[in-house]
Amino acid sequence: MTTRTLHVRPGAVEVAGSDTTLSTLGLGSCVAVAIHEPERGIGALCHALLPEPIPGHRDGPTGRFASHAVPALVEKLEAAGAMRSRLRAWIIGGATMFPMLVGSQESIGTRNVRAARAALEALGIPVVAEDVGGSYGRSVYFAVGDGTIEVRSVHQRKVIT
């Protein structure tokens, strides 16, 4: 029984309760991480653009980097009463939108997914499912109430579990 949708902008980190659908639109190489705490009925979603800050540069907003956004998600969930051991995560995005232009180096999308996995692993949070890679964009709709994640792309819509 979702009553409202909270839109997570690129670079943002949001937490919401069971009456909310958290959405984020137009993920290409960006990566979204959704985390659910089923018992308390709370969830959180981020939309990170880059894997981690470049050494020597200013950090920028927390939610810009997967390496920083994931701990921020967990911190916010815990502040809202979540228990770490009950958290479960999904990783979505990390596409390579223009494979012809990337050349031999690893794409930002691939690096974003790896950074998200590493950050979750470091915090001991299991990944339930991933919908990552490929060369197409995705939008995410995370119904916090029942913990379902719907991923929409140009040619399909699916629920990942």
Partner 1 sequence: MLDVRELGTLQLDALREVANIGSGHAATALSQLTGRRIWVDAPQIRVVPVEDVGMLTGRADEIVACVVMQVLGDLAGRTIQVFPEHTASRLAGILLRKGDVPFPDGFGELEKSALKEAGNILGSAYLNALSDFLGMMLLTSVPGLAIDQAGAALTSGSIMDASHGDHLICIDTIFKMDEEQQALKGHFLLVPDPDSLEVILRAIRLA
Which positions touch partner 1 (CB under 8 A)? 9-11, 25-30, 49-51, 54, 57-58, 60-61, 64, 95-102, 107-109, 135-139, 152-154
Distance CA 134, CA 58 (A): 31
Compute the least distance from the CB of residue 87 to partner 1, in Å: 26
* Integer Cα distance of 41 and 161 in angstroms: 17
The residue among 35 and 50 lying less far from partner 1, judged by its C-beta, is: 50
Name the catalytic one among 8, 12, 27, 30: 30
CA distance 59 to 100: 30
**Closest approach of partner 1 to the CB of residue 155, in Å:** 8
- Phi, psi at 68, each rounded to 5°: -100, -30
Residue 46 among the catalytic residues: no
Length of the chain in terms of residues written: 161
User: Measured from the CB atom, is 86 or 157 closer to partner 1?
Assistant: 157
Q: Would you say 22 or 125 has its CB closer to partner 1?
A: 22
Torsion, CA 116, CA 33, CA 29, CA 105, rounded to 10: 10
Which residues are marked as active site? Answer: 30
